[in-house]
Structure 1
Amino acid sequence: MKGGAFFILAIFLLHSSFLVHSQYLDSCDNNVINFNEYTSFDTTAMACQVVWEKESFTLRYAKAGIGLWSFLLSAYNRNSWIAMAFSTNNEMIGSSAMVGWMYLNGTSKVLQYDLKGKDSKSVLPDKGNLTVIANSSSLFVQSDRMYMAFQLSTPQPLTNLLYAIGPFILPTENDGLKLSMHRTYISTTMDFETGLSHTQASPFTGLRKTHGALNMIGWGIFMPIGAIVARYFRHLDPVWFYTHTTVQILGFLFGVVGFMLGFVVEGFIKAEVTYHKNIGITILIISCFQVLALLVRPQKKMKIRKYWNWYHHNAGRILIVLIISNIFYGVRLGMEGPSWYGTYAAIVAIMFVTAIVLEVRLRRQR
């Protein structure tokens, strides 16, 4: 009952998050806004475009003079930094970004960053190729939305634009204003003449999603189901054993293919996923030993069988904990959004509630 209530609560909270998103969406319907008291330039006659609907990013811009462009980026205030990068090749590396955030005490910062790499040491504050007009940058919050304003001196802004949302840890002077890895990002192109913006799909998105789906199905679904069969259906001998073995081997095969694809994805996009990869390697090693354990399984009458059972059962429990943790971690790294989180969370909740019901039944029978 408690598990079911938790599942209903999780669905409610997920639904509520979408309501919050839509509630504070800046849709450009009322494009005439006046934030002149917060900015050094006029904001009442700017073109407007929703550039990232999923994360409620809206961009307003205007050509304010010869070689002068004004920008006003708004997003729902998540107490994180927001970023807008200008790129020559639609990639983060090599681009220059305007990044802004507000501290809890109400002070704010807007800085240019030179994105020379994906690690924080290669993201340099107060550097970059953008010519930012002095004293034009500002950041303020209105009606639960964060607004970042700045002006650039350029004949024509680059049309390849990237937007990102940072983690909840804000940069500080003590750590050299270094940026931690973003929570999510999007790559777009903008036609400043027509005002049209569209998302650029990554060529490796399909490969990354296949990697995630195979691991989720193989490690994250088949393996726990196999464990449930082994623990709660032993009275159906020998059907439980062959079912358990078949499901675990299928999960292992799916997982191995997904594991190999992970290295392919890492090589293509140069992702920094050290912890995720190391946990994945640990999962594969334990799984290999679990499969090999079937080949050396002692007979029931042998004294050593109880030690084999102890190892096999506890290794399986550790394996399931690592698998579920790494899948959620991988979804976060892949920035797949709430649909992947919600789907797998629902599957885990169903398996968990099922295990509780079967465990209660098993204990009553004993």
Structure 2
Amino acid sequence: MKTPNTNFFIFIILALHFSGLVFSQDSCNSKLNLKSRLPFDATSLSCLPVWDAEGFVLRYERSAANGSIWSFVLSAPDPNSFVAMGFSTTGRMVGSSAIVGWVDSAGTAMIKRYYLGGTSPALVVPDQGNVTVVEGSSAVVLESSRLYLAFQLDMGQPSSRLIYSVGPNGFLPVGPNYRLTEHRNKVSTSINYSTGQTASEKAPHLKLRRSHGIVNMVGWGILMVIGSMIARYGRKWDPAWFYAHASCQVSAFTLGVIGVICGFLLESRLDSDVSTHKGLGIFILVLGCLQVMAILARPDKASKVRKYWNWYHYIVGRVLIIFAISNVFYGIHLGGEGKGWTAAYAVVLSVLFLSSAVFEYKLLTSQN
């Protein structure tokens, strides 16, 4: 009796092991073979890969019979979460309208329209948006470990700025609110519907956004902290500590004002909703102005009210620093700069706070 060919069995095992990966792939060289599972004819759609990192493939077509009807089929590996395609006028998530689809653990397919009014889940509103979906044209199909989002829009010309995103693994929206959580990954692209050319887009006004973030981070979020440390721990070097403290805080305030101006310019150009971040920034600026005016009105050391002035200056300064640090972290989140910026700023703060703890210990021990 012959021994079975070992290579043959290895081949079969490997084929079975990788079959999910092979079948989950899609490309514009392959035909869309979903037949009657889609609500409209998708045999002649134009096709292009739109997000290689996540394996997204987009097929689209403008109806010849009715020029206002656009058909779309977005294909992506099943992430065990949601897959989304957004139409944006600015290239940003906020203010865009998105078509989002998923298949839950029971095999129920869902596709919904959303309006992205802000960055918090409460502002991502289902069944709203600036695109009109043709009734009965939407479907989600799970085939060979891939999700296919199919829908038709009734509009003259869809936005050429498209955003694709994929949700965190294991998260599926549930009724009745169908709230979305923050995406695991996203990309902003532009498309020429006539030529079929697509390209990734950088975040709009990236230099201005980063300038706004850096000067505010350095000014309000770092120099202001260093200045307060000089005032508390450097008094034995009188009067040098005062001039160092004043120079540091004036520099911090100047950079902070520049950062606020950059913020107003950025808001007008992006037309984005950052009311909380803006409100905190204005509040911090007001506190900074109060500190500057307090310096100009500082009473003499021999004055009876000098003690109360010190309390006021100390309290307002600490409140300013707390809100400034919080707003810097919030601004990094809004800017979508990711964990690198957050980690870098956290490291700087950790060094400052550890240094402050050491100085505080030495200050207490010297007083005893």
Decide: shared fold, TM above 0.5: yes
Distance in 1 (CA, whole Å) between partners of 2:297 and 2:251 is: 20
Residue 51 of structure 1 corresponds to 51
SS in 2 for 1:235: helix
Which amino acid in the other structure matches residue 84 of structure 2? Answer: A
Name the stretch that deviates more: 331-340 or 219-228: 331-340
Which amino acid in the other structure matches residue 75 of structure 2? Answer: L
Residue 26 of structure 1 corresponds to none
Q: Does 1:72 align with 2:62?
A: no
Q: 1:319 to 1:246 in 2, by over 3 A?
A: same
Residue 32 of structure 1 corresponds to 22
Question: Normalising by the residue count of structure 2, what TM-score does the alignment of the two structures yield?
Answer: 0.70
Question: Normalising by the residue count of structure 1, what TM-score does the alignment of the two structures yield?
Answer: 0.70
Which amino acid in the other structure matches residue 151 of structure 1? Answer: A
- What is the correspondence of 1:149-298 to structure 2 with a 5 Å cutoff? 149-152=148-151, 160-164=161-165, 173-175=175-177, 177=178, 185-189=186-190, 198-298=199-299
Distance in 2 (CA, whole Å) between partners of 1:263 and 1:89 is: 17
CA contact (8 A) 1:189 1:200 kept: yes
CA contact (8 A) 2:101 2:140 kept: no
CA contact (8 A) 1:297 1:308 kept: yes
CA contact (8 A) 2:224 2:248 kept: yes
- What is the correspondence of 1:293-304 to structure 2 with a 5 Å cutoff? 293-304=294-305
SS in 1 for 2:84: strand
How far apart are 1:186 and its partner, in Å?
Answer: 3.2
Distance in 1 (CA, whole Å) between partners of 2:257 and 2:249 is: 12
CA contact (8 A) 1:111 1:126 kept: no
Please give the per-residue CA displacement for 1:311-337, whole angstroms capped at 9, x wherever unaligned: 111111111110000110111111111
Distance in 1 (CA, whole Å) between partners of 2:129 and 2:285 is: 43
Identify which of 131, 135, 140 aligns with 1:137: 140
Please give the per-residue CA displacement for 1:69-123, whole angstroms capped at 9, x wherever unaligned: 643224866x6x542125688566896532135779886632234x596694876
CA contact (8 A) 2:109 2:140 kept: no
Distance in 1 (CA, whole Å) between partners of 2:266 and 2:23 is: 44
CA contact (8 A) 1:211 1:262 kept: yes
How far apart are 1:271 and its partner, in Å?
Answer: 1.3
Residue 41 of structure 1 corresponds to 34
How far apart are 1:196 and its partner, in Å?
Answer: 7.6
Q: 1:325 to 1:158 in 2, by over 3 A?
A: closer
Distance in 2 (CA, whole Å) between partners of 1:125 and 1:40 is: 31
Higher Cα radius of gyration? 2
Residue 84 of structure 1 corresponds to 85
Number of aligned residue pairs: give it.
Answer: 319
Q: 1:124 to 1:308 in 2, by over 3 A?
A: same
Q: CA RMSD in A?
A: 4.3
Distance in 1 (CA, whole Å) between partners of 2:201 and 2:173 is: 28
How far apart are 1:214 and its partner, in Å?
Answer: 1.0
Distance in 1 (CA, whole Å) between partners of 2:87 and 2:290 is: 49
Please give the per-residue CA displacement for 1:236-286, whole angstroms capped at 9, x wherever unaligned: 111110000000000000000111111111111111111111111111111
Q: 1:298 to 1:166 in 2, by over 3 A?
A: farther
Which amino acid in the other structure matches residue 72 of structure 1? Answer: S
Name the stretch that deviates more: 270-279 or 198-207: 198-207
Work out the percentage of aligned pairs sharing the same amino acid.
36
Q: 1:223 to 1:63 in 2, by over 3 A?
A: closer
Q: 1:364 to 1:249 in 2, by over 3 A?
A: same
SS in 2 for 1:110: strand
